[in-house]
Amino acid sequence: MLHPVLLCGGSGTRLWPLSRKSFPKQFVRLLSEESLFQSSALRLSGDGFARPLVITGSDYRFIVTEQLQDAGIDPGPVLIEPDARNTAPAILAAAIHLARTDPDALMLVAPSDHVIPDAQAFRSAVQTGVAAAEEGMIVTFGIRPTRAETGYGWLELVGPATEGTTIALKRFVEKPPRDLAETMLAAGNFLWNAGIFLCSARTMLDAFARHAPDFLAPVTAAVDAARVDLGFIRLDPAAWSAVESLSIDYAVMERADNLVAVPFGAGWSDLGGWDAVSAEMRPDGQGNALGGNATAIDCHGTLLRAEDSGVELVGIGLSDILAVATADAVLVAHRSRAQDVKKAVDLLKAKGAKQAECFPRDHRPWGWFETLALSDRFQVKRIVVKPGAALSLQSHLHRSEHWIVVNGTARVTVDDSVRLIGENESIYIPLGAKHRMENPGKVPMVLIEVQTGSYLGEDDIIRYEDIYSRGQGAKG
C-alpha cells in the first residue's frame, strides 16, 4: 500500500492574477474541470493507494477537504502547518506521522500543483520504484528533458536514462546556465528534478537523522504536541517556530547516498509560469492559446485568457504576448518575461494593492462571497451559502448590515430572534447585534449584503459560536 503525501502550501505567484495567496494555483481549474490539486489526488488514488495525507496551511484546510470530497476521494490525515517552512519540515512531519502506525509504510511525496497528463503511465513508473523503496532506497522520479531548461534542477544518473528501470543517482545539479543545460540535454543521462520521491517512513527518518539531525527534535515535538481540530491535525506552533525553513533537496537529497531514479517521459509540467500554461493549453496553428471569452485577430504565439464571464479580452496583431484578465486585475507581458510576474506581485504588495494576494471572491468553509461595490462607508457583497452550512454567530463593532435573499431560504438569527427569510425578503442587522445566517435548504442560498459603517474590513468580526471551530479574525 502506497501512502500519497501531497504538499499543498505554495502560493503560485508566477501565475498571478489567477493564482494568489488567498486561493493559489493548486486549487484553480487551470486546464480542466478539475483543479491541479484534485488531479494530483486522483492520479495517486485507487487500487494500491491509501487515503492521501495532505500538508497545507490553515487558510486552505477547508478547501482541501471540499475539493477531495468533490473529486470522490475520502480525505485522509490533513496536517496543518502553523506557517510555511519549505518542504523539508513538511515531509519530515508526514514521515513521523506515518511511522507512528507503520514505520515501513511507503510514502509517495508529490507536489499538488504539477500536471501529468498520463496518470496510468505515472502509476506504472511508481510501481517500477516500489522494490527499491522497500529495500531502503529513496526513489526520485526524474522527467526526461525535452529542452535545455534553465529553470529546473537536474539529476545526473550513473548510466543512460532508460525508462522502466531504476538507475543510481550520481548527483543533483542546480538550475544550470544555458550552455550547461544544452550539454546535459545531449548527454542522455540527465533528467529534470520533479521533486517527487518514494521511500519508507523509516528510510526518510533515517535520512534526516544522518544528514539533517537538527530538524528531528523540533518537528517531532510539533507532531507530539499536535492538536486535533475538526479532524485536522494542527502541528504545535511553538515547536514549529524553531524549525529551519529549508527544502528537502538541500536538507537531505543532495547529501544522501541511497538514491535511485526512475525516468519518466510521458509528459510533465510544473506550470511554473504562464508560458508553461500556454504550452499545456494546446495552442492553435498560429501558436495562440485562448481561454474564456478571448478572441485573437492576426496574433501569433500569444496567450489570451479571460477569467471572468463578464470580461471580453481581444488581442489584435500581437506576437509572443501573455494577457490574462480577471475581474479586478489584468496582466500583460512579453512571453520572455513570464518569470518576472513574481516581481509584479512583490511591487503590488509593496504599494498595498489588495489584488496582490486577494481575490474579489473569498472562499469560506460555508461557501463564498464576493464584493460587488466598495466605497468609504458602504460595501455590497454577494454571499453564497452551501446547503446545510452556517456562518458563525458573530457581531461587528463598526458596521450594520442589510440582507436580501435572492435564491433559496435563509434561517437568520438576530440576538434572540430566529426567523426564515425567503426569496425577495430582507432583514436589517443593527450594529453590535449578535447574528448568524444558515442555509436549511437543499440548494445554495444566495443573498445580497449591504454593509454601512466606519470600517468594513473582514477582521471586524467577533465570533461567539462556530460549527467550523474557527478562532477570531477574518478567517479564524
Report pLDDT digits (tens) over 266-278: 999 999 899 999 9
More confident call, 221 vs 363? 221
Instruction: Return the C-alpha cell found at 402.
Output: 442589510
CA distances from 15 to 21, 203, 318, 356 (A): 11, 35, 20, 11
The pLDDT > 90 percentage for the chain reads 91
Confidence of residue 370 (pLDDT cuts 50, 70, 90): very high
pLDDT at residue 27 tops 70: yes
Q: What percent of the chain has pLDDT over 70?
A: 99
- Tens of pLDDT, residue by residue over 119-148, are 999 999 999 999 999 999 999 999 999 999
Specify the pLDDT at position 269: 94
pLDDT at 10: 78
Cα(240)–Cα(55) distance, rounded to whole angstroms? 14
pTM over 0.85: yes
| Average pLDDT over every residue of 104-108 | 98
d(CA 64, CA 70): 10
User: How buried is 33 (Cβ within 10 angstroms: 0-12 exposed, 13-18 middle, 19+ buried)?
Assistant: exposed
Question: Between the CA of residue 195 and those of 51, 116, 155, 250, 418, what are the distances in Å?
Answer: 21, 13, 11, 12, 53
**The C-alpha cell of 318 is what?**
500581437
pLDDT of residue 360: 85
Number of H helices, E strands in the chain: 11, 28
Q: Where in the chain is the domain with CATH 3.90.550.10?
A: 2-264
pLDDT for position 476: 54
For residues 138 and 260, give the distance between their C-alpha atoms in angstroms, rounded to a whole number: 6
Phi/psi of residue 435, nearest 5 degrees: -150, 160
3-state secondary structure of 363: strand
Q: How far apart are CA 184 and CA 172, in angstroms?
A: 12
Phi and psi angles of residue 114, each rounded to the nearest 5 degrees, phi first: -100, 160
Strand blocks (E) in 60-180: 78-81, 106-111, 138-143, 154-157, 167-173
Residue range(s) in the chain whose domain bears CATH number 2.60.120.10: 361-465
Give the residue-averaged pLDDT of 429-450.
96
DSSP 297-350: ES-BS-EEEE-STT--EEEES-BSEEEEE-SS-EEEEEGGGGGGHHHHHHHHHH
Q: What does the mean pLDDT of the chain come to? A: 94
What is residue 367's predicted lDDT score, i.e. its pLDDT?
A: 94
Cell for 178? 544555458
DSSP 271: -
How confident is the model at residue 41, as a pLDDT? 97
> Is the model's pLDDT at 173 over the cut of 70?
yes
Query: 10 Å Cβ neighbour count for 352?
Result: 7
Q: Would you state the pLDDT for residue 228?
A: 92
Question: For residue 10, which of 153, 109, 112, 89 has the smallest C-alpha distance?
Answer: 112
pLDDT at 453 over 80: yes
Phi/psi class of residue 398: alpha, beta or left (left: φ > 0; alpha: ψ in -120 to 50)? alpha
pLDDT at residue 383, as a whole number: 97
Grid coordinates 431560504 are at which residue? 409
Q: What is the pLDDT of residue 229?
A: 87
Classified by CATH at the fold level, domain 2-264 comes out as Spore Coat Polysaccharide Biosynthesis Protein SpsA; Chain A (3.90.550)
- Quick one: pLDDT at residue 231? 86
Rounded Cα distance between 257 and 152, Å, is 22
Mean pLDDT of 178-190: 94
pLDDT of residue 471: 75
Classify domain 361-465 by CATH number.
2.60.120.10
What is the pLDDT at residue 65? 94
| pLDDT, position 159 | 92
Given a cut of 90, is residue 280 above it in pLDDT? Answer: yes
Query: How much is the pLDDT for 397?
Result: 95
What pLDDT sits at residue 474?
A: 66
Mean pLDDT of 441-446: 96
**How far, in Å, CA of 151 to CA of 272, rounded?**
9
Distance CA 388, CA 444 (A): 9
Given a cut of 70, whether residue 475 has pLDDT beyond it is: no
Query: Over 80: is that where the pLDDT of 291 sits?
Result: yes
Q: Is the pLDDT of residue 9 over 90?
A: no
∠ CA 138-154-259 to the nearest 5 degrees?
15
